[in-house]
């Protein structure tokens, strides 16, 4: 099968949504800020992007940039990651974020025990531009139950209709979190890059799908011009195993010296079509599913 041209891919991916954009400001070096990320997204006429910081509530960034974002044809949304910089599993910080317009809560990423085990040398990210103290954030009590603050956070997510991400927790803890989230009325749940840091097998992800969750894969991992050169054939295998109806493609890009998100979407999307993924399935995992998770059609 002949790989589609960039122009053809631009038409196919029109209206897509990126749930994992690492634009700045951030203590980590970033290629662009949130306004510039929106301009990049406009090349695909993206409906929306979700900007993520490992360190702070990005809703406040967007409110401060509102005048510069007002003319953007791509909507930009924020959320909060529950690392040590925001007090860990902090219901007060989550309530402020969501009630000021936040659309996502990521449970601990680099503060999770799983991430620290995978990167004992510290972080697994480029060096921060400033010294930012960090510590481990536990989601479970010593007896294995979710900490009370996690239950409060789940209730806040349910109340607002926001998206719950398992962050960089290990797969078993994510399953416990999602099961409790479903019981408390959370309807939008996602596991990020299951085969990177998380260490989740497809069978474990299918358990999460049973709770209504979606499995997110990052084009930044599979882009042939990126520094993480994972095989797109593996990505196709994941999509076929889980099903496009519960799969999402996002970028996980914005870092300095890495590709622009739109370019990675185009290259990885073309590779998937060349491998035999139907165009309808590609649009489902780049347009329809992430639009639901971000609440764009509510």
Count of helices and strands (H, E) across the chain = 14, 9
In this structure, how many other beta carbons lie within 10 angstroms of the beta carbon of residue 172? Answer: 14
102: left (phi > 0), else alpha (psi -120 to 50), else beta? beta
Q: Which two tokens stand for residue 96?
A: 């402020």
**What's the pLDDT score for residue 158?**
98
Question: Which pair of tokens denotes residue 12?
Answer: 């196919």
- Are 104 and 162 in contact by the 8 Å Cβ rule? The answer is yes
Closest by alpha carbon to 97, among 86, 85, 111, 109? Answer: 86
Distance between CA 52 and CA 33 in Å, rounded?
Answer: 11
What phi-psi label fits residue 297: left (phi over 0), alpha (psi between -120 and 50 degrees) or beta? alpha
| Topology of the domain covering 6-294 | TIM Barrel (3.20.20)
* pLDDT score of 120: 61
Q: What is the pTM of this model?
A: 0.95
Q: 79-81 and 214-218 as β-strands: parallel, antiparallel, unpaired?
A: unpaired
The pair phi, psi for residue 190, each rounded to 5°, is: -145, 140
Tell me how far apart the alpha carbons of residues 111 and 104 are, in angstroms, rounded to a whole number. 18
Q: In this predicted structure, what is the pLDDT of residue 1? A: 53
C-alpha 78/C-alpha 114 separation (Å) is 24
Quick one: pLDDT at residue 286? 98
Whole-number Å distance between alpha carbons of 36 and 254: 10
What's the Rg (C-alpha) of the chain? 18
Token pair 């799983």 is at which residue?
114
Q: Which of the residues in the chain have pLDDT under 70?
A: 1-2, 120-129, 227-228
Domain map (residue ranges) of the chain:
6-294
Residues forming a β-bridge with 218: 250
The CA-atom distances, in angstroms, between 141 and each of 56, 137, 147, 149 are: 24, 11, 6, 11
Whole-angstrom distance, CA of residue 174 vs CA of residue 214: 12
Residue identified by tokens 């989550």 is: 94
pLDDT digits (tens, 9 = 90+) for 144-169: 999 999 999 999 999 999 999 999 99
Q: Do 149 and 89 meet the contact criterion of CB atoms below 8 Å apart?
A: yes
CA–CA dist 266, 36 (Å, integer): 18
């Amino acid at each position: 099968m002949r790989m589609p041209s960039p122009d053809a891919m631009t038409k196919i991916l029109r209206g897509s949504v990126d749930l994992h954009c690492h634009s700045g400001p951030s203590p980590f070096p970033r290629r662009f800020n949130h306004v510039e990320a929106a301009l990049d997204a406009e090349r695909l006429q993206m409906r929306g992007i979700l900007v993520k910081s490992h360190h702070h509530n990005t809703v406040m960034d967007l409110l401060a940039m509102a005048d510069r974002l007002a003319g953007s044809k791509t909507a930009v949304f924020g959320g909060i990651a529950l690392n040590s910089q925001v007090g860990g599993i902090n219901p007060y910080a989550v309530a402020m974020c969501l009630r000021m317009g936040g659309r996502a809560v990521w449970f601990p990423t680099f503060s999770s025990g799983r991430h620290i085990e995978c990167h004992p040398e510290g972080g697994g990210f480029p060096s921060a531009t400033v010294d930012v103290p960090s510590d481990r954030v536990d989601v479970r009590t010593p007896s294995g139950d979710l900490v009370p603050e996690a239950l409060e956070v789940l209730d806040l997510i349910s109340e607002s209709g926001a998206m719950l991400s398992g962050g960089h927790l290990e797969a078993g803890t994510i399953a416990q979190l999602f099961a409790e989230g479903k019981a408390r009325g959370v309807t939008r749940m996602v596991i990020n890059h299951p085969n990177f840091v998380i260490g989740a097998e497809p069978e474990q992800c299918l358990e999460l799908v049973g709770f209504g969750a979606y499995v997110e894969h990052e084009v930044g991992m599979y882009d042939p011009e990126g520094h993480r050169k994972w095989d797109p054939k593996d990505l196709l295998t994941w999509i076929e195993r889980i099903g496009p109806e519960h799969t999402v493609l996002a970028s996980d890009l914005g870092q300095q010296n890495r590709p622009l998100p739109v370019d990675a979407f185009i290259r990885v999307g073309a590779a998937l079509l060349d491998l035999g993924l139907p165009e309808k399935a590609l649009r489902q995992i780049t347009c329809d599913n992430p639009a639901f998770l971000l609440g764009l059609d509510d």
